[in-house]
Chain A
Amino acid sequence: MATPLSLKELSKKEVLLTAGHRMCSGCGAPPVVKMVLLASDYPVVASNATGCLEVSTCISEYTAWKIPWIHNAFENAAASLSGVETMYRSLKKQGKIDKEIKFIAFGGDGGTYDIGFQSLSGAMERGHDMLYICYDNGAYMNTGIQRSSATPFGADTTTCPAGSVVPGKLQQRKDLTKIMAAHGIPYVAQASPSSWSDLMKKVRKALEIKGPKFMNIIAPCNRGWRSRTDDAILLSRLAVETCYWPLYEIEDGVTKITVKPKEKKPLVDFLKPQGRFKHMFAPENEWMLKQAQEEVDKNWERLLKEEAFTASLETPKE
Chain B
Amino acid sequence: MPKIVAVTGNEAVAEAFRQVNPDVCAAYPITPSTDLMQRFASFVNNGKVKTEIILVESEHSAMSACIGASAAGGRVITATSSQGLALMWEELFIASGTRLPIVLGLVNRALSAPLNIHGDHSDGMGARDCGWIQLWSENAQEAYDNTIQAFRIAEHMDIRLPAMTCMDGFIISHSIERMEYLDDEVVKNFAGEFRTVNPLLDIEHPVSYGPLILPDYYMEFRRAHAEVMSKVPEVVLSVAKDFEKISGRKYSLFETYRLEDAEIAFVILNSAAGTSKDVIDEFRNKGVKAGLLKPRLYRPFPYEEVGEALKHLKAVCVLDRADAFGASYGPLYIDIAASLYPYKEKPTLINKIYGLGGRDYLPEHAELVLNELAEVAKTGRVKTFKEYIGVRE
Q: Give which listed residue, B23, B61, B74, B206, contacts A122 with CB less than 8 A.
A: B61
- With A54-B212, A97-B201 known as contacts, the answer to whether A80 contacts B67 (CB < 8 A) is yes
- Residues of A contacting B60 in the complex (Cβ-Cβ under 8 angstroms): 75-76, 79, 119
Complex Cα spacing A63 to B213, Å: 12
Q: A86, B52: Cβ atoms under 8 Å?
A: yes
Number of A-B contacts (CB under 8 A): 164
Q: At the interface, yes or no: A258 with Cβ under 8 Å from chain B?
A: no
| Central interface residue in B23, B66, B209, B214, by most chain A CB within 10 Å | B209
Q: Are A70 and B210 in contact (CB under 8 A)?
A: yes
CB-based nearest B residue for A80:
B68
Inter-chain contacts of A59 with B (CB < 8 A)? 211-214
Q: B54 contacts A86, CB within 8 Å?
A: yes
Cβ–Cβ < 8 Å partners of A48 in chain B: 210
- The interface residues of chain A lying within 8 Å CB-to-CB of B217 are 60
**Contact present for A89 and B211 (CB under 8 Å):** no
In the bound complex, residues from chain A placing their C-beta under 8 Å from that of B208 are: 58, 63, 65, 68-71
Cα–Cα distance between A60 and B26 once the two chains are bound (Å): 30
Chain A proximity of B216: nearest CB distance (Å)? 7
Q: Indicate if the CB atoms of B50 and A90 lie closer than 8 Å.
A: yes
Residue of B nearest to A83 (CB): B68
Instruction: Tell whether A69 pairs with B206 under 8 Å between CB atoms, given A59-B214, A86-B24.
Output: yes
A69 and B201: CB pair below 8 A? no
Contacts of A268 in B (CB 8 A): none
Interface residues of B in 107-132 (CB under 8 A from A): none
Is there contact, CB below 8 Å, between A79 and B202? no
Are B54 and A83 in contact, CB atoms less than 8 angstroms apart?
yes
CB contact under 8 A between A69 and B203, given known A60-B214, A119-B60, A122-B56: no
> Are B209 and A71 in contact, with the CB atoms below 8 A?
yes
A30 CA to B23 CA in the complex, in Å?
Answer: 35
Enumerate B54-113 residues with CB–CB distance to A below 8 Å: 54-58, 60-61, 64-74, 76, 90-91, 94
Nearest B residue to A75 via CB reads B60
Which of A45, A47, A60, A81 touches B201 (beta carbons < 8 Å)?
A: A45
Is B200's beta carbon under 8 Å from chain A? yes
Distance, CA A86 to CA B52, complexed state (A):
7
- State which residues 103-124 of A face B: CB under 8 Å: 118-119, 121-123
The smallest C-beta distance from B196 to any residue of chain A, in angstroms, reads: 10
Q: Are A88 and B68 in contact (CB under 8 A)?
A: no
Distance to closest chain B CB from A163 (angstroms): 34
Question: Is A84 in the interface zone, CB < 8 Å from B?
Answer: yes
- CB of B24 within 8 A of CB of A90, answer yes
Q: Closest CB-CB distance, B233 to chain A, in whole Å?
A: 29
Contact, CB under 8 Å: A47 / B68: yes
A65 to B90 alpha-carbon distance, docked (Å): 25
Distance A84 CA – B67 CA, assembled complex (angstroms) = 8
Counting chain B CB atoms within 10 Å of each CB, the highest count among A63, A65, A90, A121 belongs to A90
Contacts from A to B (Cβ < 8 Å): 43, 45, 47-48, 54-55, 58-61, 63, 65-73, 75-76, 79-91, 93-94, 97, 99, 101, 118-119, 121-123, 125-126
Extra A-B contacts (19), CB below 8 Å, given A72-B94, A88-B72: A47-B68, A59-B213, A60-B212, A60-B214, A71-B208, A72-B209, A80-B67, A82-B68, A83-B76, A85-B68, A86-B52, A90-B24, A91-B73, A91-B74, A91-B201, A93-B50, A93-B52, A119-B58, A119-B64
- Selected A-B contacts with CB under 8 Å, 25 pairs: A63-B208, A68-B206, A69-B200, A69-B206, A70-B208, A70-B209, A71-B208, A72-B68, A72-B94, A73-B91, A73-B94, A79-B65, A83-B54, A83-B72, A84-B69, A84-B71, A86-B24, A86-B65, A86-B68, A87-B201, A90-B74, A91-B72, A91-B73, A101-B201, A122-B57
**Contact surface of B with A, Cβ cutoff 8 Å:** 23-24, 26, 50-52, 54-58, 60-61, 64-74, 76, 90-91, 94, 200-203, 206-214, 216-217
| Closest 10 A/B residue pairs (Cβ) | A83-B68, A122-B57, A71-B210, A83-B65, A87-B72, A83-B69, A76-B64, A79-B61, A79-B64, A80-B68
